[in-house]
Structures are given as C-alpha cells and as structure tokens.
Amino acid sequence: MRARLAVLAAVAAGACRTVAPPPPAAPPPPDWVRRIPDDPKWLYAVGISGPTPFLSHTVDNAVERARGQLALTVESDIVAGTLSIERSGGATTRDTVVAVAAVSETTRALVENAEVVATWVDAAGSCSPDPGTAYALVRMERRAPRGR
C-alpha cells in the first residue's frame, strides 16, 4: 500500500509541474551590423571579433579591428592623394616612401581618437557562425583636405 501511495504521489507531483516558457527570441542585430552608415559628416567602420574567454576582450578586439578598418580607409585616401602629388612633382621613389610613412603616423594618431559609437554581441549566433561574436561601430569626422 505504501508503495502505491508513493507512486501515486510521484505521478501527481509530475502532473502538476509547470513547463518553463521558452527563452525569449534574440533581439535582431542593429542595422549598422549589416550596413555601415553613410553620412557626409562622418566616416564609419565596423570591426568584428570572434568570441574569447572574456567578453570585455572580445569587445575590445572588435573596437580595435574597427579602428584598423577606419585607418585603412583614411590612409588609402591620403596615400592616393600623396602619390599623385609626388608623381606630378617628379619626386623620386625614396621621397614617396617617406611621404607614405608620415601618412601612416598621422593616420594612426587620427584613428586612435575615433569615437566608439556602439558595440553589439551576437549572443545567439544569429549573424555569425560563433555565438558570442562582438561587433563595434566607430566613426571619425570627415575633414576636407587642406588647400581645396
């Protein structure tokens, strides 16, 4: 009799148990993850970092990669302008290399001060193959070249 009561109590307890609701759906990614903003006043770049053991490192890596992308954009514009000016002035190859090195230092200084606009971590893996991937959006003000 005792065994029957124990079984009956176990069945009754299981029947009364409520099922936990499913977890909420992951929020959609911000628009800038899929399409970099286009703004005449600001130059934007996005950096991506796969997951690391520490979330703060993942986000920091994404920010640094975004700054690197911004530097590539800024430097390629400046170098192209520098090279065309150097060539029209009849400069030697050595002069051009010195000009490019100076541009790199200037670019690095500018990009280090780029503003971090937003970060987002894809916790669910909805935009990336690895859950925990971080995205960072940085920007810097566009400036008209001198003498134009």
Lowest-pLDDT range of 12-21, 45-54, 84-93, 120-129:
84-93
Give the whole-number percent of the chain exceeding pLDDT 90.
41
Helix (H, G, I), strand (E, B) or coil at 139: strand
51 residue type, one letter: P
Q: Are the C-beta atoms of residues 27 and 107 closer than 8 Å to each other? A: no
Mean pLDDT taken over the chain: 76
CA angle (69, 75, 79) in 5-degree steps:
150
Give the model's pLDDT for residue 119: 97
Angle between helices 55-88 and 93-112 (to 10 degrees): 150
pTM score of the predicted model: 0.64
Q: What's the rounded mean pLDDT across residues 108-131?
A: 87
Cα–Cα distance for residue pair 61/41, rounded to 1 Å: 26
